[in-house]
Amino acid sequence: MAFRLNDVNFSHALLYLRNSQKTLAESLDRMSSGKSITKAADDAAGMSIANSLESQTRGLGQSMRNATDAIGIAQVADGVMGKSAEIIMSIREKSLQAANDSQTSQTRQSLQSDINKALAELRDISGNASYNGQKLLSGEFSSRSIQVGGSSGETVEMNIGNASPAVLGNAYGKLADINVLNPEDAQQAVSVTDSALAGINSMRNELGSTQNQLTTTINNLSLTQVNVASAQSQVADVDFAEESINFARMKSLEKAGTFAASQIGKMNRQTMSDLLQG
């Protein structure tokens, strides 16, 4: 007649122990990661929602960085145009001085030389103004779309006109071509500088409006990101207080399972020893 040791109880004890250890490891994983959902098996629907919210949060973050970069571009362009305006005003002063009949041909030639130097400086700063390798005041940076939303099509248009002295001016001529060698041309030079200043001011006003729009957009994006992140946290983040209680409970169950398996194993070994000795 065959004699069976208490292997059924022992198997049950081992299974209970393994399950307790598995649940304990999962609890520890949740506390380590800070996430209540670490894999699809935990909550497939919850993971899908959490991933969607995380994608939205990250998209909003990138959109804010895009808007911040655009503000940086506008600030660089505005700073250079501010310097350009100062140079144009100095050219205007020289033109007004040359328009006065008290000037001689020699003094007008000297004033023209000063204006030419100012124009050379103006060409340099307007031609070299760039951001991330892109020329800003050459007319190339116009109708640029800045992605400022978490979804496709949510953009702000940025326009920076051409601030080159070869373009600024009016019907009397361009800023780059003005001369003050006679009173009539000096009078026209004043008109050209006035138009050039008006053009610069118009571009700066548009940039200022765009900066304000971008700043408002960043504030709105930041608020939306906080709300979306909060929703994601409610779905996916672990409740540490609750999980700590769960971890302590599973730790106790694991200890109980270990003790039970040990005792059953000890009883089986004792039974086997008694049989062999009997």
Q: What is the DSSP string of 98-136?
A: HHSTT--HHHHHHHHHHHHHHHHHHHHHHHH-EETTEES
Q: What pLDDT does 135 receive?
A: 92
Would the pLDDT of 172 be above 50?
A: yes
The answer to whether residue 11 scores a pLDDT higher than 80 is no
* pLDDT given for residue 120 in this prediction: 96
- pLDDT band at residue 5 using 50, 70 and 90 as cut-offs: very low
pLDDT of 269 above 60: no
DSSP 176: G
Q: Which residues contact 207 (CB under 8 A, 6 or more apart)?
A: 74, 77, 78, 81, 160
Q: Which residues span the domain enclosing 97? A: 46-235
268 and 221, same structural domain?
no
248 shares a domain with 113: no
244 and 230 in one domain?
no
Q: How confident is the model at residue 229 (pLDDT cuts 50, 70, 90)?
A: confident
- Is residue 206 domain-shared with residue 245, that is, in the same domain? no
pLDDT tens track for 93-119: 999 999 999 999 999 999 999 999 999
Identify the residue whose tokens are 């991933």.
51
Check which CATH number belongs to the domain holding 108 and give it.
Answer: 1.20.1330.10
The CA-based diameter of the chain, rounded to the nearest angstrom, is 138
In the chain, which residue ranges form alpha helices assigned H by DSSP? 7-33, 44-99, 105-128, 183-236, 240-277
Please tell me whether residues 203 and 243 are part of one structural domain: no
68 lies in the same domain as 172: yes
Query: Residue 145, SS3?
Result: strand
For the stretch 140-156, pLDDT in tens is 888 899 999 878 888 99
Query: What contacts 122, CB < 8 A, 6 or more positions away?
Result: 84, 87, 88, 165, 175
With 70 as the cut, is the pLDDT of residue 271 above it?
A: no
pLDDT above 70: percentage of residues in the chain: 67
Q: Which distant-in-sequence residues (6+ apart) come within 8 Å of 153 by Cβ?
A: none
Domain membership of residue 230 (yes or no) is yes
Which residue, 178, 146, 123, is CA-closest to 73?
A: 146
> What per-residue string of b and e applies to 144-159 under the rule 16 or more CB within 10 Å gives b?
eebbbbbeeeeebebe
Using CA atoms, how far residue 118 sits from 41, 88, 105, 122, 123, in Å, is: 71, 8, 20, 6, 9
Structure tokens that stand for 15 in this block: 């299974």
Average pLDDT on 165-186 reads 93
